[in-house]
Structure 1
Amino acid sequence: MQALVYTFIALSALAVGGISYFGLTFTPAEAILASIVFGCVCVVLLERSLRQRAEQRLERAIEDLSRLLATDAQAGAVLGQRINAMADVNAGTRLEVVEADISVLGTVIRQVAEAVAEIEEKTKAPAPGSRGRVAAAPPPAPYREPEPTIGQDVLRRAIDENRLVYHIQPVVTLPQRRPQGYDLVPRLRLEQGQMADRDEFMPRRGGDDLRRQIEGIGLVEAITISRRARTGGQPVTLYVPLSRATLSDQAAAEQLIVSLEANRAIAPGLIFAISHSEWQALTTGERALADSIAKKGAGFSVTDVRSLRIDVAELAAQGVRSLRIDAAHFIDNPEAFTDFHASDIANYVARFEVKLLATGITSERQIVELLEDGIVLVQGPHIAAPGPVRPDLVLEAGRQIGQLRRAE
């Protein structure tokens, strides 16, 4: 290729000499000199371009080599770190921990086997004077929530008159008692000006339409507060009440999903509080809806948990972020909740990124005992009672609630 270029240069030089001699009336010596000068200039320019091209190729090769050397050095550093980490691992200690866990597990299995054998012996052995009949132990009385003192008709009229308000109650982190989130607490303003709490008016049997309406109002207010807080640069976590009354209704469920889809930016700050009994009773369709809620970024907080002998990993996969237990019951009778030691259960649950939340704190002694057990999320009247939201947020929420009711 380079020989062809030089041939073209020679031909061009001859052409310049011929033009100079015949066209410009140069003497033969001048024409030959012009041809030689033109050829030399062309050769110099060609060599210069070739040298520049070679230098550029050399620079690119040096850069590639530098990158390869840097990559090799980084790989060597990572390999060195891994080798150091493997050298620092004390396999003997880890094996001892595993052996200790296996030993504890064996002890627990042996205790369970002994307890089962003892129960079987007591069942087979008839009590004296009972004529071969064994008196069965009475089953534990099921937990029954108190019936509301305010009827559904009064509640429906109060909602129509816009006397249902939502207050907030903080959930704090110990020991600093810094707010981690806020519960949305529905309260009813009575005609006498007094405030009725949730247990006094929330329907227990029937009244699903009222529960859906109350929870819909709570969702609107939660979205309003979250958006206003996020705009102000202080995002908050809100625990919004939820029940099967909303999940089982197609229109209410669609409205819930649409609201979350339209507010994906604040969805991670919304945690729906649902009771443990209703969570366990969810149907296949309701469970699919709960999964859709979790995919939108929101989470769940299971309330009224009376036993921690549950699959925490499964709950975490379903979007559950916290389990709520009664503080007084857990402190007085931890064996009713779990077979773990009271100080170990919080760490065990935290392995699955689920937190224990103790509710109903009534004294400072309970806080100290919960701290000793590793439970750092608490709530209750001793921490703070439910209170109203800031007036500007309440007004904005009131306008949106009014629009929601007119749409219904």
Structure 2
Amino acid sequence: MIRISTIFIAICMVLVAASLGLVLYSWAGITFYESALVALTALTFLILYNAVSMRLRDRTDVGGQIADLSRGTADLARQVAEFGRRLSAVEGKVVSANSAGADRMQGVISEINELGVLVKQLATTVATHEEMLAAGPPAAPTPPGPPSQPAAEPQAAEAGPAGMAEAAKPLAASSTPAPGAPSRSQTQLIAAVKNAIEENRLDIYLQPMVTLPQRKVRYYEAVTRLRDDKDQVLVAEDFIGTAESAGLIGRIDHAVMLRCVQVLRRLMVRNKDVGVFCNVSATTISNPTHFAQCLDFLEANRVLAPSFVLEFKQSTLRKLGPAETENLAALAQRGYRFSIDHVTDLRFEPRELADRGVRFIKVPAALLLDPKQTSTSDIHPSDLSDLLGRFGIDLIAEKIEGERAVVDLLDFDVRFGQGFLFAPPRPLRPEGPSATAVATATKPQEANGPGNPATLETPAVEPPPRATGNAALARRAVGPN
């Protein structure tokens, strides 16, 4: 379409040519035909001038358009290259995700194959027990004395999984250091604690936490024991209260943290996924001097924060003041995670605990399996693990002493377990390059007494599957006959 500006220019040129002819006709005195010829000539000249100027302007515009088109083409090429790079990155991520999924699937398949082998072994064990039970009642008991000891093993075998678990309890308990010390006055106990701290007679015992139902060792809890000048062992319940009242608990916590970090460094040499739980008292959190000392130490070792878990009592977290809350926040900002133990009820606020940095809650198995908790708690114990898991908190069932408890806890979707059933607390080697070696959970019936602690030269290994636990799992899978 013809633009309005072009029409306006054409009209102006006609008017200019007509005006020129009229002026020549009126003032110059030339004839009408001559003035018309002059006007036509002027109009022709104006038309040619306008055409030439428009052609030059169009040529200039075409050059600018070509330059703009070149710039647009370059931008488009850059965008295409950027899209290609992003597409390559997405393809790499998809390939890595597929590879990781294949690895996970392979791990699941291997575990299923392991479970199949275990089920076959369990079936054989159960069949053997049934044949022994069908053979008739056991022979009459022999008179007491040394000859009667060989008959104890068949009787334990005939008792089934429950009998074997009960028989293992005293053997496992024998590996724990019994107090064995005469009653002491408060002054004598304080003196014993001071001497133990000054002479470095604080011992660290490790008790494993295993995954359920695989029973693979995932974490260790550091348990503190104290030896007096006569090498008599005091458990934590015997001296913690006295140490807190005497103002010595801060030194104990700092020494235990130091030993736990050393243990964790040794364990992570062979297994990067291992973790250590270290108990911290409420007095240390509330005391500015002791907390500052512990905070400086933890700050220097914050590279171990993902694997070093600080454990507090449930009553401690419920009684936190503003200063203690700020101290816990300082630890959480440095990447340290917290655990709750000594749980007395199942009333939790998962969101609040997760905001404070709590990632583990240890609940006694008896409390989880107590039918009374259904009416006294805000949530059914079987749903507690799922509720905590939504906020990134893992539930650990502790003080497990029987296979029946393991089977019941599996129905509650509990992922971790701890107790004498798996392994009692075992001492570390007191000296030498393998000072952090711990006794394994295998063969708890061979546990030594306190005077001869069993230790290994390597970090703890995963316990092999127990026949009694496998039989219980097989019965659960098959169902009632």
TM-score, scaled relative to structure 1: 0.59
Once the 2 structures are TM-superposed, how far is the Cα of residue 149 of structure 1 from its aligned partner? 5.5
Structure 1 residue 154 corresponds to structure 2 residue 192: yes
Alpha-carbon distance change, 329 to 292 in structure 1, aligned in 2, over 3 angstroms: same
**What is the alpha-carbon distance in structure 2 between the residues aligned to residue 218 and residue 175 of structure 1?**
31
Alpha-carbon distance change, 184 to 63 in structure 1, aligned in 2, over 3 angstroms: same
Which residue of structure 2 lines up, in the alignment, with residue 66 of structure 1? 80
Q: Deviations over 1:345-382 (max 9, x none)?
A: 11011110111111111111111111111112111111
> Bigger CA drift: 356-365 or 183-192?
183-192
Aligned with 1:242 (options 251, 256, 280): 280
- Tell me the amino acid that sits aligned with residue 220 of structure 2: Y
Aligned with 1:389 (options 428, 452, 458): 428
Which residue of structure 2 lines up, in the alignment, with residue 202 of structure 1? 240
Once the 2 structures are TM-superposed, how far is the Cα of residue 258 of structure 1 from its aligned partner? 1.1
**What is the alpha-carbon distance in structure 2 between the residues aligned to residue 245 and residue 149 of structure 1?**
25
Structure 2: unaligned runs, 5 residues or longer: 1-66, 92-181, 438-481
Which residue of structure 1 lines up, in the alignment, with residue 380 of structure 2? 341
Structure 1 residue 266 corresponds to structure 2 residue 304: yes
**What is the alpha-carbon distance in structure 1 between the residues aligned to residue 410 and residue 194 of structure 2?**
42
Contact 1:327 1:360 in 2 (8 A): yes
**What is the alpha-carbon distance in structure 2 between the residues aligned to residue 205 and residue 328 of structure 1?**
29
> Bigger CA drift: 242-251 or 314-323?
242-251
Once the 2 structures are TM-superposed, how far is the Cα of residue 279 of structure 1 from its aligned partner? 1.3
Q: Deviations over 1:233-282 (max 9, x none)?
A: 63531111101211122221111211122112111211111101111111
Q: Deviations over 1:184-226 (max 9, x none)?
A: 1001234454433222222268435221121111111122222
**3-state SS, counterpart of residue 369 of structure 2:** helix
Once the 2 structures are TM-superposed, how far is the Cα of residue 337 of structure 1 from its aligned partner? 5.9
Q: Deviations over 1:5-43 (max 9, x none)?
A: xxxxxxxxxxxxxxxxxxxxxxxxxxxxxxxxxxxxxxx
Alpha-carbon distance change, 337 to 297 in structure 1, aligned in 2, over 3 angstroms: farther
Aligned with 2:416 (options 370, 377, 385): 377
Once the 2 structures are TM-superposed, how far is the Cα of residue 161 of structure 1 from its aligned partner? 2.7
Structure 1 residue 364 corresponds to structure 2 residue 378: no
**3-state SS, counterpart of residue 428 of structure 2:** coil
Q: Which runs of structure 2 are paired with 1:57-96 in the superposition (5 Å)?
A: 60=74, 63-64=77-78, 66-67=80-81
Contact 1:164 1:186 in 2 (8 A): yes
> Bigger CA drift: 243-252 or 347-356?
243-252
Contact 2:428 2:436 in 1 (8 A): no
Structure 1 residue 275 corresponds to structure 2 residue 313: yes
Contact 1:267 1:298 in 2 (8 A): yes
Contact 1:273 1:301 in 2 (8 A): yes
Alpha-carbon distance change, 149 to 346 in structure 1, aligned in 2, over 3 angstroms: farther
**What is the alpha-carbon distance in structure 1 between the residues aligned to residue 368 and residue 420 of structure 2?**
17
Contact 2:210 2:418 in 1 (8 A): yes
Q: Deviations over 1:123-145 (max 9, x none)?
A: xxxxxxxxxxxxxxxxxxxxxxx
Structure 1 residue 211 corresponds to structure 2 residue 225: no
Structure 1 residue 297 corresponds to structure 2 residue 335: yes
- Tell me the amino acid that sits aligned with residue 381 of structure 1: F
* Higher relative contact order (CA closer than 8 Å, sequence separation 6+): 2
Contact 2:278 2:309 in 1 (8 A): yes
Identity of aligned residues (%): 29
- Tell me the amino acid that sits aligned with residue 313 of structure 2: S
**What is the alpha-carbon distance in structure 2 between the residues aligned to residue 155 and residue 345 of structure 1?**
39
Structure 1: unaligned runs, 5 residues or longer: 1-52, 78-147, 398-408
> Bigger CA drift: 286-295 or 64-73?
64-73
- Tell me the amino acid that sits aligned with residue 417 of structure 2: V
**3-state SS, counterpart of residue 220 of structure 1:** helix
Which residue of structure 2 lines up, in the alignment, with residue 112 of structure 1? none
Alpha-carbon distance change, 59 to 388 in structure 1, aligned in 2, over 3 angstroms: farther
- Tell me the amino acid that sits aligned with residue 424 of structure 2: A
**What is the alpha-carbon distance in structure 1 between the residues aligned to residue 205 and residue 340 of structure 2?**
20
**What is the alpha-carbon distance in structure 1 between the residues aligned to residue 253 and residue 207 of structure 2?**
17
**3-state SS, counterpart of residue 176 of structure 1:** coil
**3-state SS, counterpart of residue 234 of structure 1:** coil
Contact 1:149 1:200 in 2 (8 A): no
Contact 1:170 1:379 in 2 (8 A): yes
Once the 2 structures are TM-superposed, how far is the Cα of residue 396 of structure 1 from its aligned partner? 8.4
Alpha-carbon distance change, 204 to 252 in structure 1, aligned in 2, over 3 angstroms: same
Which residue of structure 1 lines up, in the alignment, with residue 217 of structure 2? 179
Which residue of structure 2 lines up, in the alignment, with residue 107 of structure 1? none
- Tell me the amino acid that sits aligned with residue 63 of structure 1: A
The alignment of Structure 1 onto Structure 2 pairs a total of residues equal to 272
Alpha-carbon distance change, 249 to 372 in structure 1, aligned in 2, over 3 angstroms: same
Which residue of structure 1 lines up, in the alignment, with residue 21 of structure 2? none
Structure 1 residue 326 corresponds to structure 2 residue 364: yes
**What is the alpha-carbon distance in structure 2 between the residues aligned to residue 323 and residue 384 of structure 1?**
20
Alpha-carbon distance change, 61 to 354 in structure 1, aligned in 2, over 3 angstroms: closer
Contact 1:149 1:201 in 2 (8 A): no
> Bigger CA drift: 148-157 or 358-367?
148-157
- Tell me the amino acid that sits aligned with residue 316 of structure 1: A
- Tell me the amino acid that sits aligned with residue 160 of structure 1: E
Which residue of structure 2 lines up, in the alignment, with residue 188 of structure 1? 226
